[in-house]
Amino acid sequence: MKRIILAGVLACLTAAPAFAALSAKAEQTIKVIKSIADDPAKMKIFCTLADVLDKAGDKSDPATDKKVDELLAQLGKEFEDAWDAGEEFGETTEDGKAYDAAVNELEDKCP
């Protein structure tokens, strides 16, 4: 009986990292990203940003970089900081996955 209980406890302990909570920084960043949906003017700017980035693909050129910087500035310092923070999370971390999901959710609201 003790072995069954021990096995259950070990299973729970090894599964715990899979259900890890997001970092405070990720939670705040995602909150800022999602807040854009509440402001139609900022949502329009975000959709333009998403379109510019989609058209640019993996290519980077000075004109596109300038346009992206201008659009991020229009969205505000808080959004710009949140956007930059997304690069720090890494795509395979829980924070990164949650961040990407928030950005994709916002992009899905674009026409």
Provide the residue-wise pLDDT of the chain in tens; the chain has 111 residues.
Answer: 444 443 343 444 444 444 458 999 999 999 999 999 999 999 999 999 999 999 998 888 899 999 999 999 999 999 999 999 988 998 899 999 999 999 999 999 999
User: What is the extent of the structural domain holding 64?
Assistant: 20-107
From the list 110, 40, 46, the residue with the least C-alpha distance to 75 is 46
**Residue 3 covered by a domain:** no
**Residue 30 covered by a domain:** yes
**Residue 24 covered by a domain:** yes
Lookup result for tokens 């996955």: 97
Domain count, the chain: 1
**Residue 34 covered by a domain:** yes
**Residue 15 covered by a domain:** no
Q: Quick one: pLDDT at residue 21?
A: 87
